[in-house]
A and B are shown apart, each in its own frame.
Chain A
């Protein structure tokens, strides 16, 4: 008989759950969100901040129409980037570089606008479609660097994608401090403001609605790709088991290249939604970490495209709340980043509780 160490308190055993219902899964996710807010309230309360007031501000965001609209606007880049990440993560490709890909998307969109503004290269009506195309291509190419390194040389993608974030941010700094600085901008590191036709105002002249259309289309495209197409199926198989994929005749390398390109491309369009939907020009620090928030959103939504949309509106609201908290309560803006991280940690803990259960075994009655 194998030796078992039993303590007086009994033994704790961790067992894998064999299958669980969808309802259980959803309720565990909600439970982990509740747990996150409990932890956050403990942090805020321990510093003597008014926790209840802070939570009223955060959840009040979703009640007031103007703030809700702002949240939706903030959610667009998060949503598009998280949709891209869903593809990459399904492929088991750990793209941590959405932030950099977003910045590359911003650069591409701004580049098109400047080509039009400074050189008049194309008609005004062609600007928006070209911006979409360019941001998709450049964002995709930025992720493809890591994808190609993985496919060709077997370099793990985590660190290259991360490093390229810092590089992309520096490229933006270089551009707005140098060649792309607005000549009429009093020397500030900003690009020329975007003209009307380069802004996201197709639906009712409102960036939030137009962005919502964009992210709905994105979600539908990702859903269709993953559920109904051959490349999508191959992406999933490569993610689950690369050697099975190889035996099944799937070209693993080509799939990695495609998946990483699509993933970065969607984040690139997210970048477009920032410069032409939220800010209206290129400036350093244009993204307050949308690309990192997107990772949390993808994890919270379990890589489901439709849930990604819902989760990103929640996080868009959180970002909006950050500004309100700072103005009305003097809580520093970094609080939002902290809240996001705590939510992320609790989602992971929830993931554990979903997959395993902890069994407390009573010590057996001893013979003495």
Chain B
């Protein structure tokens, strides 16, 4: 029994980390007033680039590159949503489509081969055609990892440990420091923030880049740390689930930590029910669970009394311009 609980818990952590990393960055973007609907596309680009770069240069390079790719992609959104004042929904959607299309194109066997040979001409032949990459190694923490049940928290890979530290750190920066205050003020009342000498454009641009970097990292984690087997459309809406998680967490990084593991748990329950034979009839119906739970979460936070207490960033989705 304990072994079973441990394995469910470990898997929940691993799935939850995808959501956690993606939503931590998104919280910053939305707190500054930018809805980054490109999350899904950035994540899959992060996954695709980590796939290609792991084969060519190894894990560290892959993770670095996927963060850089995420930041670059989010710069497109920043340019369109912050400076061009275009509709953020449409711009983010375009970015998602770009990510899905570009990742499918670049990581397809034909194109991937060309890229891999350009990156590393001495790459052995067998790496050119494979669909999988080596998984990130688990690094057990001495003694802590031997505790029953909760020991699995300390038998994870480096990115999971990073996410443990990132959530409280991101919370601290957002709520307890001056830059965090500027960020929140820009999302609440950009005109007032501007009058106080905060550069609205710069803050929003940086916040969007943070969300892009984290989304790229989430993609890299999803591929390298959880499911190191490439297929087109690998993220399967995980970016959108992370977006609803941001709302469920009421734009708070610490609550996102809990919410991420909740969503991770829902997904793991779905796998487990399939194993138990409950889903033997239709794994497809069980696979709907994460999406339905995400919708239910959105409905739950929209119910009147809850809504008054949480308060979304007042200027979320509204472009800022000094003239209007």
Bound pair (A, B): yes
Is B78 an interface position by the 8 A CB rule? no
Contact (Cβ within 8 A) A163 B302: no
Query: Which of B159-167, B181-189, B293-301 lies at the interface?
Result: B293-301
Contact (Cβ within 8 A) A332 B100: no
Is A185 an interface position by the 8 A CB rule? no
What CA separation (Å) do A156 and B323 show in the bound complex? Answer: 28
- Among A48, A166, A177, which residue has its beta carbon within 8 angstroms of that of B291? A166
What CA separation (Å) do A340 and B94 show in the bound complex? Answer: 9
Contact (Cβ within 8 A) B298 A159: yes
Query: Which of B105-113, B122-130, B206-214, B261-269 lies at the interface?
Result: B105-113
Count contacts between A and B, CB distance < 8 Å.
133
In the complex, which residues of chain A have a beta carbon less than 8 angstroms from the beta carbon of B103? Answer: 334
Is A174 an interface position by the 8 A CB rule? yes
Is B281 an interface position by the 8 A CB rule? yes
In the complex, which residues of chain A have a beta carbon less than 8 angstroms from the beta carbon of B95? Answer: 345
Interface residues of A in 173-200 (CB under 8 A from B): 173-174, 177-178
Measured CB to CB, the closest approach of chain A to B250, in angstroms, equals 15
Contact (Cβ within 8 A) B284 A158: no
Contact (Cβ within 8 A) A348 B110: no
Contact (Cβ within 8 A) B105 A334: yes
Query: Which of B56-64, B149-157, B236-244 lies at the interface?
Result: B236-244
Is A245 an interface position by the 8 A CB rule? no
Contact (Cβ within 8 A) A153 B302: yes
Measured CB to CB, the closest approach of chain B to A276, in angstroms, equals 23
In the complex, which residues of chain A have a beta carbon less than 8 angstroms from the beta carbon of B232? Answer: 334
Residues of A in contact (CB 8 Å), total 49
Measured CB to CB, the closest approach of chain A to B136, in angstroms, equals 26
Contact (Cβ within 8 A) B288 A167: yes
Interface residues of B in 57-76 (CB under 8 A from A): 76
Is A349 an interface position by the 8 A CB rule? yes
In the complex, which residues of chain B have a beta carbon less than 8 angstroms from the beta carbon of A48? Answer: 114
Contact with B along A314-345 (1 / 0, CB 8 A): 00000000000000001110111111111011
Contact (Cβ within 8 A) A166 B302: no
Interface residues of B in 293-324 (CB under 8 A from A): 294-295, 298-299, 302-303, 307, 323
Contact (Cβ within 8 A) B294 A163: yes
Q: A170-B288, A341-B100, A349-B84 are in contact. Are A155 and B237 (CB under 8 A)?
A: no
Closest to A13 in B: B323
Contact (Cβ within 8 A) B90 A299: yes
Closest to A353 in B: B84
What CA separation (Å) do A191 and B127 show in the bound complex? Answer: 39
Measured CB to CB, the closest approach of chain A to B80, in angstroms, equals 6
Interface centre among B85, B114, B282, B288 (most CB of A within 10 A): B288
Given A14-B83, A348-B91, output 7 extra A-B contacts at Cβ < 8 Å. A159-B294, A163-B294, A170-B287, A340-B101, A344-B93, A345-B80, A349-B84
